[in-house]
Structure 1
Amino acid sequence: MVKSRSEMVEETRSKLIQAARRSFAIHGYANASMDELTAEAGLTRGALYHHFGDKKGLLQAVVDQIDTEMADKAHALSAKEKNMWKRLLAEAIAYIEMALEPEIQRIMLRDGPAVLGDPSQWPSQNVCLGRTMEGLHSLIEAGVIKPVDTEATARLLNGAALNAAMWIASSDDPKVVYGKAVEAFRHLANGLLQTPT
């Protein structure tokens, strides 16, 4: 069966993103060779420039893919919790825990911010922010947490989780830092409860 143009475009994009993801994870953004990356994908540099503009555009596509995967994974893990409050905490803590993964450390938490700027401004972060705001709104309506401004609180909670993840990624002992970060995050978040635990 002959592939449609849109299928061929998507296949080319996917090959480049996967090759870049491997290269960025192993070598880092600065040391990743575009010639080696495109050769691994069986494509030309022209294909890279056509689909992503430049190396930075390719990094953005890789970051978007990983960020979506992280958000989906954190959401799926939190869905196992029956209690709304525990679901909200579980999602944030799952995000923090992913900072222990070397690919996420290098691409999402070190190279991404260095090249693409403030992660809280990345388009993909709007999904996480919206999800957190919805959760907070439901918790306020249920009387579980204090009546706070949901956008401000969501931004602060998400920012705390992001900064905890970045701290883990840049530390000499990520597992020790992870334990400290999660404990502190729980204490901060518990301050929102009507009846702190």
Structure 2
Amino acid sequence: MASPLTKAGQTERTRRAILDQARSLFTKHGYAATGTEALISELSITRGALYYHFKGKIDVFKAVYSEAYSEIIDYIDARIEPVEDSWERLVIGCQAFLEIAQKEDLRRLVFIEAPAVLAAETIAEVDQRGFKLLYEGIQVVSEEGCLSTISIEGFAHLINGSLNELALWVAQSDDPQRLHTAQELIKTLLTQHKG
């Protein structure tokens, strides 16, 4: 027989259930079409329980978005982990980020809903984890003499901005050719600066 949940365990289980339900609804219906009533009714919790964990619907969305972004970082890490060459790791990591834009479970949340719902500062704050990974990759290839740039930090911002815009473009279509084109474009941009 399983031991009963502690108060902290029950609290965490309720929070997790809210986030899972919210992610499902935001992915299927979008932020605007998902009311707080929909978040709580299927879970059979009170509005007070929702507000115990989150200030409101926007905070639920921020938490869902932050978790989704962590999944993106994990996906990129998994794609580059077996690759030994630093330059290839950089290229594959950038291309892996673009692949997310056609993964249906993340596409709507990250590339369609988030830009329409969250402030640019919030998106940039969450993106710092991805930017750090990109910056470190660029720094490594620069130190190895594989990259020629006047500023590592500036170049990281250039690539990050390009990746974000290309991902938005890819997310607008199911056409795999668009993803392939975006991946080739980012590879070309990087290669033009190869030292």
Q: Compute the TM-score of the two structures, normalised by the length of structure 1.
A: 0.90
- Which letter maps to 1:154? A
SS at match of 2:98: helix
Higher relative contact order (CA 8 A, sep 6+): 2
Structure 1 position 40 matched with structure 2 position 73? no
Q: Tell me the equivalent position of 1:107.
A: 109
Structure 1 position 61 matched with structure 2 position 78? no
Change in 2 beyond 3 A, CA 1:11/1:109:
same
Change in 2 beyond 3 A, CA 1:6/1:180:
same
Q: Tell me the equivalent position of 1:154.
A: 156
Q: Tell me the equivalent position of 1:165.
A: 167
Offset of 1:178 from its aligned partner? 0.9
Q: Structure 1: 5+ residue runs without aligned partners?
A: none
CA distance in structure 2 between the aligned counterparts of 1:41 and 1:159, rounded to whole angstroms:
39
Aligned length: 193
- Which letter maps to 2:20? Q
Change in 2 beyond 3 A, CA 1:136/1:178:
same
Q: Tell me the equivalent position of 1:185.
A: 186
Q: Tell me the equivalent position of 1:13.
A: 15
Change in 2 beyond 3 A, CA 1:9/1:152:
farther
Change in 2 beyond 3 A, CA 1:170/1:38:
same
SS at match of 1:100: coil
CA distance in structure 2 between the aligned counterparts of 1:122 and 1:7, rounded to whole angstroms:
32
Most deviating of 57-66 and 26-35: 26-35
Over residues 21-59 of structure 1, what are the superposed CA-to-partner deviations in whole Å (9 max), with x where a residue is unaligned?
000111111111322221222322222222111111111
Offset of 1:121 from its aligned partner? 4.1
CA contact (8 A) 2:115 2:123 kept: no
CA contact (8 A) 1:119 1:125 kept: no
Q: Tell me the equivalent position of 1:71.
A: 73
Give the fraction of aligned pairs with identical amino acids, expressed as a percent: 28
SS at match of 2:34: coil
- Which letter maps to 1:117? A
CA contact (8 A) 2:101 2:170 kept: yes
CA contact (8 A) 1:139 1:145 kept: yes
CA contact (8 A) 2:135 2:153 kept: yes
> Over aligned residues, Cα RMSD in angstroms?
1.7
- Which letter maps to 1:122? A
Change in 2 beyond 3 A, CA 1:20/1:39:
same
Over residues 76-95 of structure 1, what are the superposed CA-to-partner deviations in whole Å (9 max), with x where a residue is unaligned?
11112111011111111111
Q: Tell me the equivalent position of 1:175.
A: 176
Offset of 1:151 from its aligned partner? 1.8
CA contact (8 A) 1:168 1:177 kept: yes
Once superposed, which parts of structure 1, at least 4 consecutive aligned residues long, lie more than 4 Å away? none
CA distance in structure 2 between the aligned counterparts of 1:186 and 1:51, rounded to whole angstroms:
43
CA distance in structure 2 between the aligned counterparts of 1:57 and 1:166, rounded to whole angstroms:
23
Q: Compute the TM-score of the two structures, normalised by the length of structure 2.
A: 0.91
- Which letter maps to 2:85? N
CA distance in structure 2 between the aligned counterparts of 1:111 and 1:5, rounded to whole angstroms:
34
